Amino acid sequence: MKKIITLAFFLLLIGSLHAAHDKPNIIYIVSDDLGYGDLGSYGQKEVKTPRLDQMAKEGLRFTDHYAGHTVCRPSRLVFLTGKHTGHTAIAGNNMHVLPKGTKTVTSLLKEAGYVTAGIGKWALGNVGTSGHPNNQGFDFFYGYLDQGAAHDYYPEFLFRNEKAERLPGNVNSGQRNVSSKKVTYAHTRITEEALVFIERNKAKPFYLNLTWTIPHTNNEAGRVEKDGQEVPDYGIYADRDWPNPEKGFAAMVTLMDEDTGKIIDLLKKLGIEKRTLLVFTSDNGPHQEGGHKVDFFNSNGELKGYKRSLHDGGIRVPMIAWWPGTVKPGVTDLPSAFWDWLPTACELGGAEIPTDIDGISFAPTLLGQKAKQKKHEYLFWRWSGFRAVRMGQWKGVQTNKDLALYDLDEDLGEENDVAKDHPKLAARIKEIIDELE
């Protein structure tokens, strides 16, 4: 009898371990201010991104994916909550602390049995508040808690959970986010912590939210030093006949590419790449700050506008999904956005999907089940006095109550307003905007 009970217990244990391993590991990398045209797989010619380009060849490249917003904090709030800015508490970079009990992609996956980590830039609650990452479903946090502090790539400290941890050698100059001694590069430390988290949790289903600050400029250093692209060195661009801010920008993007490669290499070394979904994207369009010019590398590609614009250059972003053996190589033009991330990750991870969200899971697209993929009637953004709506091939951008309408199939650069030619469509878009006010 004891042998039968022991065998039954053993089979139950094996079954439970098997069930846990059926959940894919999920890594969601969000770069900061990377433009639609900044990767080779999206048309970049000068800045080298070989690892991300290979990831795109081996995975699924999204051509019509959108950030949650055109600036940092609201965009991050969107992917965490699955709600577009018509339904979030903020639609700009104003301060916001996540309330206690907020359902986020992280808290939901944690409830479903995932080990969770947020590494990099956080912007939704400091130590002692309900919005601190450890109070929002993150088992582990390392990085910047304050969004403004994340401008500085050589800060005196980063946070490990709730404790400030000194970065050796860095000394602030006395001016906010401007360092007089630059020794320990924060991006490198953030990447190292991400690699350690992956290795430490290789036997469990884990969710890693890796929010790099690259290639965001250091705005304050840019004003003082006229160059906000802080990097340890210019690497392969050192001898190029470019302004220093452009060398720094290119070096940032290539460093980020190399570090994505390190993550892929580690997954393969650990033998877990076939049960890990890796997604790479950006929180908004490219910046034109700290000495960097959007047109220098054609950072927004064929799109109009850049960061702080609701034209596609400010919100359409690269996204690549890589999952060997599950996500087949290819390209999709499915219109999707940051608010779709929560239901997608939760569907794949077997977690609860709240009913009061705006997102639609794109898991069917990842899994090659195109016939099962539901689509949005529209995508929506709110920013200061501006509103934008995308419906299929059509894009409406409202400024001071005046609506311009563009046919993205014929006019990707949003140059020709055709609202007068399509009054019913323009009226429907205005109706959507009014409903979300």
The C-alpha atoms of residue 353 and residue 311 are separated, in whole angstroms, by 30
Beta bridge partners of 399: 386, 402
Domains assigned to the chain = 24-377 (3.40.720.10), 385-437 (3.30.1120.10)
pLDDT mean over 29-34: 98
How does DSSP classify residue 282? E
Angle between helices 341-349 and 72-81 (to 10 degrees): 40
**Cβ(68)–Cβ(76) below 8 Å:** yes
Give the pLDDT score at 21: 53
Does the pLDDT value for residue 17 go beyond 60?
no
The C-alpha atoms of residue 349 and residue 110 are separated, in whole angstroms, by 10
CB burial of 165-178 (b: ≥16 within 10 Å; e: otherwise) equals eebeebeeeeeebb
pLDDT mean over 347-367: 98
Helix (H, G, I), strand (E, B) or coil at 380: strand
Residue 307: count of CB within 10 angstroms of its CB:
24
Give tens-digit pLDDT for 239-273.
Answer: 999 999 999 999 999 999 999 999 999 999 999 99
What is the pTM for the complete model shown? Answer: 0.94
What is the share, in percent, of the chain residues with pLDDT greater than 90?
Answer: 93
Beta bridge partners of 408: none
Does the pLDDT value for residue 15 go beyond 60?
no
**Cβ(228)–Cβ(221) below 8 Å:** yes
Residue 282: C-alpha distances to residues 22, 54, 211, 256, 314 (Å)? 28, 18, 9, 12, 11
Q: How confident is the model at residue 9 (pLDDT cuts 50, 70, 90)?
A: very low
Give tens-digit pLDDT for 362-397.
Answer: 999 999 999 999 999 999 999 998 999 999 999 999
Q: 103: which residues sit within 8 A by CB, 6+ positions away?
A: 81, 354
The amino acid that residue 204 corresponds to is K
Tokens 């993205």 locate to: 408
Does the pLDDT value for residue 156 go beyond 70?
yes
Token pair recorded at residue 65: 């994916």
The C-alpha atoms of residue 25 and residue 261 are separated, in whole angstroms, by 17
Angle between helices 186-200 and 244-270 (to 10 degrees): 10
Does the pLDDT value for residue 419 go beyond 90?
yes
Does the pLDDT value for residue 51 go beyond 70?
yes
β-pairing, 178-181 vs 171-175, is antiparallel
Does the pLDDT value for residue 2 go beyond 90?
no
